[in-house]
Amino acid sequence: MDSHGQIEQQVVWAVVGTDIGPLLLAATGEGLVNVVFHATDAVRDKSLGRLADRLGVEPVESPGSPLLAEAIHQVEAYFAGARKDFALPLDWSLISGFNRQVLRELASGVPYGSVVGYGDLARRVGQPGAAQAVGTAMGANPLPVVVPCHRVVESDGGIGGFGGGLEAKRKLLALEGVLPEPLF
């Protein structure tokens, strides 16, 4: 507690090595709040600065924190092919409105090994003309991989965009059996 008897917000983070490069995982007492691709020193520092600004508290590196332990375990199990679903508390405080609605639907309604089109996802949240807005929501996803924006593809069969890069999207979809493994 702080000097006013309020419970202080805590944000802890760690970097986890994966088949798509290092991922920064950050958590609060509410749950996993952020996953960041390509967590090199520069990307990590910029992301942690944004988190501090958004959440009003300086994130602390703590790979052994109980707040992160299960998230790290589940991410590692996912990349090892031993986990298909994430069962983690999520802190949705970095996203709101339509974007949050779309991401919640994605998290609950598009299972491992399947894909959905941008327009289909828009229809699922009652906004059939909002395919482009769904694309924007995917780009704003603060919890990629765990909230599986890699499973959203173009209706014509194209892979679509991806904040982690198209190679990472292909690897994630191959891991889930949606695409064949790349030959090289």
Angle (nearest 5°) at CA 13 between 7 and 19: 150
Catalytic one among 11, 12, 149, 168? 149
**What span, in angstroms and rounded, lies between the C-alpha atoms of 2 and 22?**
34
Question: Catalytic annotation on 155?
Answer: no
Supply the DSSP symbol for 51: H
Polymer length in residues for the chain: 184
Q: Which residues are catalytic?
A: 149
